[in-house]
């Protein structure tokens, strides 16, 4: 399904009473859903992000996971940040961008800036919600407020007549010229609390920021049916080397065995591969468990990349099954094993379910995408977290976790595009191993 989301938000006072509006349209312009709400006292940018989040949720409700969506907003800030071209400099926007990004990754989203006059439906909804809140009521679809003369206001009763002016673009804007904007209370121009550009505000003629320069030089061409036009954030997913538990095919979760000599050699082989072209690792992110950290340290010694430890990337907790073989579990816990194999939401006795692990892994993924946008990240982890990251990239159901196999020290890879689908480019590659 091809959908269009138009979203907006505004604040009367910036910060002041704020609201958002969003509309979901079919490709032919038919309105399929609309939503709006007041959010209390907030800034323009916060309201705009809230409008985006509401619009993405509505698109999921209409089209479901995997629907193709073009998001259109007149907020240059939100569009550029969500497309990964501008950094998120204010911490108050970061959790909103994180939530929007999580929703967007369930869809096939492209990001498009439009002039304010082409975003009238979402702008009207935002103002209707603010007007309703000012009157002590709640916005309802199809009941726009009226002016004192009894006629419907195109921007809500409290909105003054629109005027068109010429506004200078933000420093470093790709437009390189002035562009028309409509002045009204929810306009996000001249936002005083947040950075509107990827460059310092004091340098109108400054060179592009390092992040923009690097993204241009590291542009990645996407595969698949659509050609993403922005830089990928690349996840290289390396499973740790062999341990005594993997030799005996025992469940190894939060237990902390070390690498065997063979496992150490596998880590070195992976390090040799990853330290040579075409790989160029910017940062290594490791599970806190020793088998993963030892593998990560081998790669760091060859590449010079720093290591960050992410606790959510640890292996799933197998509870009472830790250290047991599949045969032993089948003998002692036959009913529990059957339930566990049938439903990813069922945990082992005293352990953690795959559904619970998915929540922490997906949250860690979203943080990494925000903090290392456009970079190449080596994630050294375990079977379950790596399978989860692959499943999410493929938009596959949770049951797909049971249908993937990952060898020790195997390499998988996912490219995350802000304006295109995630692309799995490797799965269980062991060509570097002897």
User: Which residues have a catalytic role annotated?
Assistant: 240, 315
Q: Is residue 52 within 8 Å of residue 77, measured between CB atoms?
A: no
Q: What share of the chain is helix, strand, coil (3-state, %, to 5)?
A: 35, 20, 45
**Pairing mode of beta strands 411-416, 423-429:** antiparallel
Distances (CA, A) of 320 to 324, 328, 348, 351: 9, 12, 7, 7
* Cis before 91? omega within 30: no
Q: Which residue, 190, 159, 177, is CA-closest to 45?
A: 190
Residue 291 assigned to a binding site: yes
Q: What's the Cα-to-Cα distance from 44 to each of 39, 49, 78, 291, rounded to whole Å? A: 11, 9, 11, 47
Residue 190 CB neighbour total at 10 angstroms: 9
What span, in angstroms and rounded, lies between the C-alpha atoms of 422 and 102? 12
Closest listed residue to residue 107, CA positions, set 61, 45, 73: 61
Contact at 8 Å (CB) between 15 and 185? no
Residues 422 and 416: their CA atoms lie apart, in Å, by 5
Beta strand pairing status for 283-286 and 411-416? unpaired
Q: How far apart are CA 246 and CA 403, in angstroms?
A: 19
Sequential DSSP letters for 282-305: SEEEE-SSHHHHHHHHHHHHHH--
Q: 120, exposed or middle or buried, with CB in 10 Å at 0-12, 13-18, 19+?
A: middle
Binding site for substrate: what residues are annotated? 291
Binding site: what residues are annotated? 291
């Amino acid at each position: 399904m091809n959908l269009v989301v138009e979203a907006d938000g505004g604040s009367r006072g910036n910060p002041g009473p704020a609201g958002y509006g969003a509309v979901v349209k079919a490709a032919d312009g038919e309105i399929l859903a609309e939503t709006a709400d007041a959010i209390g006292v907030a800034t323009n940018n916060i309201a705009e992000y809230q409008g985006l989040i509401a619009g993405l949720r509505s698109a999921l409700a209409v089209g479901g996971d995997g629907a193709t969506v073009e998001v259109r907003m007149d907020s240059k800030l939100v569009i550029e940040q969500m497309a990964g071209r501008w950094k998120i400099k204010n911490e108050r926007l970061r959790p909103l961008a994180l939530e929007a990004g999580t929703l967007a990754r369930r869809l096939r989203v492209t990001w498009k800036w439009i002039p304010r006059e082409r975003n009238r439906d979402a702008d009207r909804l935002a103002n209707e919600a603010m007007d309703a809140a000012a009157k002590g009521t709640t916005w309802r679809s199809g009941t726009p407020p009226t002016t004192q003369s009894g006629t419907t206001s195109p921007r809500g009763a409290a909105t003054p007549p629109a005027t068109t002016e010429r506004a200078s673009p933000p420093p470093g804007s790709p437009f390189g010229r002035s562009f028309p904007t409509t002045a009204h209370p929810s306009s996000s121009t001249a936002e005083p609390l947040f950075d509107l550009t990827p460059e310092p505000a004091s340098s109108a003629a400054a060179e592009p920021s390092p992040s923009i320069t690097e993204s241009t030089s590291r542009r990645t061409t996407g595969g698949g049916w659509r050609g993403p036009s922005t830089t990928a954030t690349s996840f290289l997913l390396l499973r740790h080397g062999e341990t005594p538990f993997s030799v005996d095919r025992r469940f190894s979760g939060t237990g902390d065995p070390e690498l065997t000599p063979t496992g150490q050699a596998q880590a070195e082989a992976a390090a040799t591969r990853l330290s040579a072209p075409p790989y160029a690792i910017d940062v290594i992110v490791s599970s806190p468990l020793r088998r993963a950290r030892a593998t990560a340290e081998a790669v760091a010694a060859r590449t010079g990349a720093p290591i960050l430890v992410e606790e959510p990337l640890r292996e799933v907790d197998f509870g009472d099954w830790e250290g047991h073989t599949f045969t032993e579990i089948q003998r002692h816990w036959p009913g529990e094993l059957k339930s566990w194999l049938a439903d990813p939401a069922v945990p082992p006795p005293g352990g953690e379910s795959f559904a619970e692990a998915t929540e922490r892994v997906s949250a860690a993924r979203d943080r990494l995408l925000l903090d290392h946008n456009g970079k190449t990240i080596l994630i050294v982890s375990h079977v379950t977290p790596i399978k989860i990251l692959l499943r999410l990239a493929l938009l596959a159901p949770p049951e797909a976790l049971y249908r993937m196999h990952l060898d020790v020290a195997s390499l998988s890879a996912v490219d995350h595009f802000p304006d295109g689908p995630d692309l799995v480019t490797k799965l269980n590659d062991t060509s570097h191993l002897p």
